[in-house]
Amino acid sequence: MSTPLRQPWAGPLGLYHPGTSLLHRCPPEAKLAGLAVAGLAVGIARGPVSAVAALVVALVAQLVSRVPWHRTTRGLTATLVAVSFVGLYQWWLRGWAAGLEVVLDIVALVLLATVVTATTRADALLEVLARLARPLRHVGLAPETFALACGLFLRTIPVLVLTSLEARDAARARGLERSPRAVLVPSAVRMVAHARATGDALAARGLGED
């Protein structure tokens, strides 16, 4: 039996999933504030018990959001792989409890952030970020520009993933699958070109000029 192709993973953040759940209807300011509080809490609280509690909160948020599991678990797989190395290092350095705490804290925060972006339109997030960034006017930075930069970050994740996959395929086609340079160099060059083209496109649309 054939296996259907899956769309390339687009990163853990940045994709809104339409819905009518409680979290979808919650104001974006409240969700961002909640995420900030959660970040502070996991940074302050010590021990694996608090980390487990943070993960439970994140899982409950995920359930309440009614965003399909595959939307978030796909992203978490890559996060788990990266965080496992950090956890193992912490285990070796400070014991199993510290290692477990680090892994659970980071997974909980990534899951919460994913739920926030999956239940909030980027447009609404930009609105809040632009409002929050108003004080930056005093140091010469336009709030809209700051918000736009955050929006661009979200959009750049899937572009970076797709560019890397294309570079990997091109390297494979040339028999260079074992050469990291054959993937990294073209990916970096293409991302720089993409950044320049995006800058041109933003200027052409008159965005970021406020």
Partner 1 sequence: MIELDDVLVTAYSPDPAGGADHVVRLLGPITLRLTERRIAIVGANGSGKSTLARLLNGLVLPSSGTVRVEGLDTADDGRAVRRRVGFVFTNPDAQIVMPTPLEDVALSLRRLDLLPDERDTAARAALARFGLADRAEAPAHVLSGGQRQLLALASVLAVEPDVLVCDEPTTLLDLRWRTVVDDLLDGLDQQVVVVTHDLDAAARADRVLVVDDGRIVFDGDPAAAVAHYRALMAGSLA
Interface ranges with partner 1 (CB under 8 A): 7-8, 10, 14-16, 18, 121-124, 126-127, 144, 148, 151-152, 154-155, 158-159, 162, 194, 197-198, 200-207, 209-210
The two structure tokens encoding residue 43: 């940074």
- Which H or E run includes 88? helix 69-94
Supply the minimum distance, in Å, between the C-beta of residue 107 and partner 1: 23
Q: How far apart are CA 107 and CA 86, in angstroms?
A: 12
Q: By C-beta, is 76 or 159 nearer to partner 1?
A: 159
Long-range contacts of 38-44 (CB under 8 A, 24+ apart): 38/108, 38/109, 38/112, 39/109, 42/105, 42/108, 42/109, 43/105
Supply the minimum distance, in Å, between the C-beta of residue 108 and partner 1: 23
Q: By C-beta, is 10 or 108 nearer to partner 1?
A: 10
Could you tell me how many helices (H) and strands (E) the chain has, helices first? Answer: 8, 0
Supply the minimum distance, in Å, between the C-beta of residue 197 and partner 1: 3
- Which H or E run includes 149? helix 143-173
Q: By C-beta, is 90 or 163 nearer to partner 1?
A: 163
Supply the minimum distance, in Å, between the C-beta of residue 16 and partner 1: 6
Q: By C-beta, is 71 or 97 nearer to partner 1?
A: 71
